[in-house]
Structure formats: C-alpha cells, structure tokens
Structure 1
Amino acid sequence: MKYLQILFLSSLFLIAACASPTESNNSGVDSMNVVSEDETESTEEIKAYTQDDQDNIQRLIRLTLNDLFKEDLDQLEIDSIGRQFIYDQVDLNNDGKKEILIGLIGPYFCGSGGCTVLLTNGYGDLITQFSVSDYPFYVDQETSNGWNSLIIYSGSENRLVKFDGETYPSNPSTLEVYSGDVDRLLKLLDIENQERKFF
C-alpha cells in the first residue's frame, strides 16, 4: 500500500514537472512571437501608413525598390547615381486609394529611349513596370476598364496607355499616338521640378 502511495505521489510529481515545461514553452512561444512580430514590424507599419504620410511612403518605395532590384544591388550593378527616383501618388481607379508612380533616374534605368517607371499599389505591390518612358507622365480623364488612361512620352510621341483589366502595357512606344492637349491634364513625375530621392 505504501508502495502504491509513493508511486501515486511520484506520478503526480512527474505530471506537475511535465506541466511546468509546457508553461515555460508557452512563454517561450510568446517570446518567439514577439521576436517574430518585431521582425515583421516594418511590414505592419508600412501597411498602416496613411496616404499623406510621405516619410512612410518614401520608406515603402525604398523597400520596394531594394526588393525588386535586390540581385542587381547585391552584384553592385547599380551605383549611387543610378539609385535615384522621383514619385507621385494618384488614384487611378477611383477607389479612394492612391497608387504610386515611381520614376527611376540614372544610367542604369534610363537610356536613349527613356527610363524605367514603376506603378505600384499603395502597399508597394507592382502593377506595371514601364520601359522606354520619358517624363513627365499625364493622367487622361478617359478611363479604360475602370482605370484612368495614362499619356506617356515614348518613341518620340505622346502615347495613349490604357489599362487592360489587369495592368497597363509595359512598352508605351508600341501604342497609339495621343493627339489631345496634354496641358489640360494632370501632370505627374515632373523631373524638372521634383526633388530626387535615393534608395
């Protein structure tokens, strides 16, 4: 009988001992979650920015560019001169959220035909990467598939660039010539009058 009592008490002790590490593991998991949250804090902060918070928007753009061109940056193919950009925000699909146009500047992204320009949503997700595009861009009042058309100077002409339901065509030089007056349109990426930023 005494042996059974000792066995019973030993079992209780073992159960209690096993329960303690579990509680300890739970607190370890909580602290791991805290670390994990710290690691993703920048992403969460970016998602929480307001459309008028220019510091966070510029931070988002820098993170987006560093991510998109990570391999080229790692291989030192893009020098400091090539890491310049200008940007503008505009609501192209009338949903109350502004998209971001990012105009890249410098010899790595620009050539005789024009420069690379990115259009992202407000979270930095790429919508279109335009090639051979010159500055400035214009926003047409006409829409296509719910998005404003863009007027982009490419191939020595202003081109009408229409949204196809998922994206804009990436090479404006192959598109129809825009014959309207751009002076009446919203001008974006005005390279002559905008401060250049670096990523």
Structure 2
Amino acid sequence: MPKKLLTALLLAFLGWRCQPKADSVTEDLFADSLVSETDSVDFTPEDQSNIQRLIQLTLLDQFKEDLDLGLIDSLSRTYKYNQVDLNGDGDLEILVGLTGPFFCGSGGCTVLLLTSHGDVITRFSVVKYPAYVDEESSNGWRNLVLYSGGANRVAQFDGTSYPSNPSTLTTYSKSIDQLPKLLDWENQEAFTY
C-alpha cells in the first residue's frame, strides 16, 4: 500500500478517535482548553497512543531527509507534547517540543504546532521551555507566550499561522504565574520517534 494512502487512512482514523467527548467540552475555553499527555478525562490510553503515533508520523515525515542522511541523532529524537484548543473549534491542536543538538541551540529549541490531524500550522525556532497559553486572542486564536531572546514573547496568530521566530516579537508584560503551562520539561513524560 502506498505510504500516502496509509498515512491518509491513519489520519482519518485518528481524527475520528482523537476527538474529546462532547460532554467534556465546556463553555469556559480558558479553563478547559489544555490537555496534557497524561490526562485521562478526555482520552483513553489508546487515544493517547494514537496521538503519539500521529506525532511520530508527522515528525518522521517532516524530517525524513535529515533522518535519511543520519543528521538527527538519538538525543534529538525526543519530544514532549500538549494538546490545547487554541481557536475554540473543539479540535485540539498539538504543541510538540523537540530537543537534542539537532533542534536546540543556545537560543532555544524547535517547537511545532500541529492541527489535530498532524498538519503543521507553525514551526517555531529558538524557544526555551515551558510555553504558555495567554487569555487573550488574535484573529480567533489564543496568543502563545514563548520564552525567546531573553524574555517571554507574545506570539499572535495572523490568520494563517503564528510568527516562526518569537525572539523578534513583543515582550509579554503580564505575569505568567496563572497561565496554563505547556511543554514542561521537568514534569512531563518524554517520547521518542
């Protein structure tokens, strides 16, 4: 079976299986929009396993050439993720934080924002973990607060994606203490692909 057909079938299955239960979605988007990989309220372990496989397929596809050339070492094949509904449509976007020398440098690491079907919305560079979801929105999508260039920066959706280099963005002037934390490297499980 051709790879594209197999991927399409898997993505269709994941799209059907990886939706939150209708009764678990509340009107309070900010309080209930964050789902970690260990939450069991909305997803079964099988659902989380499918989401991890979707992420792995996306990473293998995105970095196929570099993997084929042997440029991505085993340390760089580790990731953490969170799911969050950034645009209020009921589908959970997936924020994937990469690590290792291929994806990280002195300025930070590469982070991918994916749709619930594994399509890349934004590929961020130079982000230090963790990341946060702000209460405010731009163009219908929640703002992200990303540490880059020595400060927390506000990443605003422009109608298509978020800016890929957060180090050039406006400094976030509010406190991050009450914001939902994403990609917490100290307290989240890491996965490999």
Match of 1:49 among 17, 25, 33: 17
- Deviation of residue 42 (structure 1)? 2.9
- Deviation of residue 195 (structure 1)? 0.9
Alignment partner of 2:75: what SS? coil
TM alignment of 1:98-113, pairs within 5 A: 98-113=92-107
Match of 2:134 among 140, 147, 158: 140
Measured at CA, do residues 178 and 58 of structure 1 come closer, stay the same or move farther in structure 2, by a change above 3 Å? same
**How many equivalent residue pairs?**
164
Measured at CA, do residues 158 and 93 of structure 1 come closer, stay the same or move farther in structure 2, by a change above 3 Å? same
Q: Is the 8 A contact 2:11 2:117 kept in 1?
A: no
**Could you say what the CA RMSD is over the residues aligned between the two structures, in angstroms?**
1.5
- Distance (whole Å) between structure 1 residues aligned to residue 140 and residue 184 of structure 2: 25
Higher relative contact order (CA 8 A, sep 6+): 2
**What does residue 164 of structure 2 align with?**
170
Q: Structure 1: 5+ residue runs without aligned partners?
A: 1-34
- Distance (whole Å) between structure 1 residues aligned to residue 100 and residue 186 of structure 2: 14
- Distance (whole Å) between structure 1 residues aligned to residue 191 and residue 116 of structure 2: 18
- Deviation of residue 79 (structure 1)? 1.1
Alignment partner of 1:133: what SS? strand
* TM-score normalised per structure 2: 0.81
**What does residue 84 of structure 1 align with?**
78
Q: Structure 2: 5+ residue runs without aligned partners?
A: 20-42
**What does residue 146 of structure 2 align with?**
152
- Deviation of residue 48 (structure 1)? 2.6
**What does residue 24 of structure 1 align with?**
none
**Higher normalized helix content (fraction of residues):** 1
Q: Percent identity?
A: 58
**What does residue 126 of structure 1 align with?**
120
* TM-score normalised per structure 1: 0.79
Q: Is the 8 A contact 2:133 2:143 kept in 1?
A: yes
Q: Is the 8 A contact 1:49 1:57 kept in 2?
A: no
Which has the larger Rg? 1
